[in-house]
């Protein structure tokens, strides 16, 4: 069993729009930079929203799929992570939101 590090526990409920991650995403996408993000992708709808948002601003999305079929190996990898190596399971919602928000902002600016 894993748990989210305490320093991230309240982040899901706090509003940090306008903070560094949002600004970085805005700048990276507005400058048409290549971006890489790590997501679990366990649920199709949120993953599709991310892909569609990037497509709406003419980004090509290339997925690199990594899987581990051996449950014992997966558990070993999870247990050997350090305190500063948090799973994308916890980071995915933030990363997805930053990128989707930046895409929507750029798409809306194009319409004006």
Range of the domain at 72: 38-112
Indicate whether 77 belongs to any domain: yes
Residue 20 lies in a domain: no
Q: Is position 99 within any domain?
A: yes
User: Rounded to two decimals, what is the model's pTM?
Assistant: 0.71
Q: What pLDDT is stored for residue 57 in this prediction?
A: 96
Q: Is residue 43 part of a domain?
A: yes
Structural domain tally of the chain? 1
Judge whether 33 lies within some domain: no
Distance CA 110, CA 106 (A): 6
- CA 63 to CA 86: how far, in whole Å? 21
73 falls within a domain: yes
Predicted local distance difference test score (pLDDT) of residue 67: 80
In a domain, 47, yes or no: yes
| Tens-digit pLDDT profile for residues 55-68 | 999 999 998 888 88
Asked if residue 32 is part of any domain, the answer here is no
Residue 1 confidence (pLDDT): 34
* pLDDT at residue 82 greater than cutoff 80: no
Model pLDDT, residue 84: 72
Cβ atoms of 88 and 37 within 8 Å: the answer is: no
* pLDDT 10s digits, 30-45: 999 999 998 888 899 9
């Amino acid at each position: 069993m894993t748990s989210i590090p305490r320093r991230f526990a309240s982040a899901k409920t706090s509003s940090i729009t306008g903070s560094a991650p949002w600004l970085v995403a805005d700048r990276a996408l507005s400058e048409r930079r290549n971006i890489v993000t790590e997501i679990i992708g366990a649920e199709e709808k949120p993953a599709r929203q991310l892909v569609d948002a990037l497509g709406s601003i003419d980004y090509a999305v290339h997925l690199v799929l990594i899987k581990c079929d051996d449950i014992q190996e997966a558990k070993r990898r999870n247990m050997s992570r350090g305190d500063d190596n948090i799973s994308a399971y916890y980071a995915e919602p933030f990363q997805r939101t930053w990128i989707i928000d930046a895409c929507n902002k750029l798409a809306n600016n194009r319409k004006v």
